[in-house]
């Protein structure tokens, strides 16, 4: 009664062109982790497309075939621009640039800034103020120099800031200009005291001579 019904179905698989890839970090740039030399991973992705392949480039140099690229102190040595290419068998698209600004290169604890369109913009100004250009960053922004004398050792604190050195150097915790003013006042006071003492001694001697002369006159008067 029943016969097998055969139906032919034609399936056509059409490749979909890739859309322009977008870049985003896997961790928020607002954390400013790159200011302390931490690594950051950036992902490249297209919303549309079939059989998409991704590749990262530094200018025209192929870096890797991957959707993710990691940046760290060992890979960033100078300012550079990166970009991602998404492609399949029928089309390819290039992402916007990823810019890296290296503020202080180093093997460890380097300072760099990552700029991606549509992502938070940040800087490392506060980090730069407390870091020197030496390969090994200083733990503090104060250096101590020992000045040896015959009687004692004194400590001169140097406050290494971007202000005028005359106002930022300190002696025993006080500004240099204040110390100079204080010691100048002290020296002036000593000079005034010496002058007063000298004048007092001179007046005393004159007064004593006068008294002796008066006594001598009194003695002569009594002799008559």
Give tens-digit pLDDT for 117-169.
Answer: 999 999 999 988 876 554 434 333 443 344 343 434 444 343 444 444 444 44
CATH number of the domain bearing residue 106: 2.60.40.10
99 and 152 share one domain: no
Residue 175: beta bridge partners? 170
**Does 193 have pLDDT greater than 70?**
yes
**Cα diameter, the chain:** 185
> Which residue has tokens 């959707």?
67
**Are both 123 and 97 inside the same structural domain?**
yes
Q: Which one has a higher pLDDT value, 51 or 215?
A: 51
Q: How confident is the model at residue 202 (pLDDT cuts 50, 70, 90)?
A: low
Note whether 89 and 162 are same-domain residues. Answer: no
- The answer to whether residues 29 and 124 belong to one domain is yes
What pLDDT sits at residue 98?
97
Q: How far apart are CA 175 and CA 164, in angstroms?
A: 11
Q: Which of 171, 168, 174 has the alpha carbon at shortest distance from 157?
A: 171
Looking at the fold, whether 40 and 105 belong to one and the same domain comes out as yes
- Specify whether 95 is located in the same domain as 152: no
Task: Mean pLDDT check: name the lowest of 35-44, 158-167, 172-181.
Answer: 158-167
Domain count, the chain: 2
Q: 111 with 155, same domain?
A: no
Q: State how far the Cα of 154 lies from the Cα of 171, in Å rounded to an integer.
A: 9
Judge if 158 and 114 occupy the same domain.
no
Higher pLDDT, 29 or 144: 29
Rounded to whole angstroms, what are the CA distances from 68 to 26, 57, 108, 165?
Answer: 9, 12, 22, 47
* Lowest-pLDDT range of 30-44, 66-80, 157-171: 157-171
**Residue numbers of the domain that contains 56:** 22-129
């Amino acid at each position: 009664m029943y016969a097998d019904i055969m139906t032919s179905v034609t399936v056509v698989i059409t490749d979909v062109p890739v859309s322009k890839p977008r870049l985003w970090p896997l961790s928020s740039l607002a954390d400013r982790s790159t200011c302390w030399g931490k690594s950051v991973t950036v992902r490249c992705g297209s919303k549309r497309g079939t059989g998409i392949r991704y590749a990262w480039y530094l200018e025209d140099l192929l870096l890797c075939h991957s959707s993710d690229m990691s940046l760290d102190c060992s890979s960033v040595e100078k300012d550079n621009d990166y970009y991602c290419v998404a492609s399949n068998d029928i089309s390819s698209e290039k992402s916007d640039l990823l810019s890296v600004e290296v503020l202080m290169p180093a093997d460890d604890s380097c300072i760099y800034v990552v700029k991606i369109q549509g992502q938070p913009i940040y800087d490392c100004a506060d980090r730069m103020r407390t870091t020197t250009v030496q390969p090994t960053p200083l733990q503090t922004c104060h250096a101590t120099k020992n000045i040896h004398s015959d009687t004692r050792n004194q400590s001169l604190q140097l406050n290494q800031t971007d202000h005028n050195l005359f106002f930022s150097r300190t002696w025993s915790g006080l500004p240099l200009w204040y110390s100079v003013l204080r010691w100048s006042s002290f020296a002036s006071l000593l000079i005034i005291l010496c002058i007063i003492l000298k004048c007092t001694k001179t007046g005393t001697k004159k007064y004593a001579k006068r008294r002796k002369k008066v006594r001598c006159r009194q003695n002569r008067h009594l002799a008559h």
